[in-house]
Each structure stands twice: as C-alpha cells, then as structure tokens.
Amino acid sequence: AQSVTQPDIHITVSEGASLELRCNYSYGATPYLFWYVQSPGQGLQLLLKYFSGDTLVQGIKGFEAEFKRSQSSFNLRKPSVHWSDAAEYFCAVDPGTASKLTFGTGTRLQVTL
C-alpha cells in the first residue's frame, strides 16, 4: 500500500528565512501529489498539486514544490517565510485510481519573529 512520510514533525524558522518541508512517498508509479496547509481549528487549504509535466510546481502564497522521481520526493519550499505561514502542512498522495488521498502525519511550522 502507498504511504507518505513527512520526517519532520516540527520545524521552527525565523521570519524571512527560507523553508523546506520534506515529503517522501512509497508507490510503484507516479502518483498525484499535493500539499495542503491547515491553520489551527481550520480546514485544509490546497497549496499546490502535481499531476504531470513540469516537475517544479508553483502554488499559492509563494510556495513551490519539486517532484523528484528518483528520490520519490515532493518537497515544499518557500524562499522567505512570513509569520502568517505558521500552521501545519500536510503532504498527500493520490495514486490516480482510488480517488482517495493518503496523508502524511504533517509538519508543524513555527515562525519566530
């Protein structure tokens, strides 16, 4: 069965610093890949998605992610973090057949001023 690993449970960065959140997946073929963000007590908001094509994907709020097939990774990046980016970030995989997302356990981002 497919799985998603987010190895960093909690990350703290200073405002203005760059950010990279890691995501690795385990699946035979190339799945559909997503990053969602969840603010405390809120639902999930889609940041970006990769279905096919260009492996560098641009999303909302200045986020981007790069799909690397050889590493089975889909890491999320932002060049300069804002205090409002503090939230929990979830990587998710859809194998493209089952129409159900498999989520990682999330990375909680804290931003210091």
Q: Which residues bind other proteins (CB under 8 A)?
A: 4, 32, 34, 36, 41-46, 49, 90, 92, 94, 96-106
Rounded least distance, CB 105 to other proteins, Å = 5
What is the spatial distance between Cα 4 and Cα 112, in angstroms, rounded to a whole number? 28
What is the spatial distance between Cα 93 and Cα 76, in angstroms, rounded to a whole number? 14
Instruction: Name, in order, each residue with C-beta under 8 angstroms of 77's C-beta and a sequence gap of 6 or more.
Output: 18, 19, 20, 21, 63, 64, 65, 66
Virtual CA dihedral for 23, 25, 56, 40, nearest 10 degrees?
-40
Which CB sits closer to other proteins, 70 or 97?
97
Rounded least distance, CB 43 to other proteins, Å = 4
Which CB sits closer to other proteins, 15 or 27?
27
Rounded least distance, CB 19 to other proteins, Å = 19
Which CB sits closer to other proteins, 70 or 99?
99
Rounded least distance, CB 39 to other proteins, Å = 10
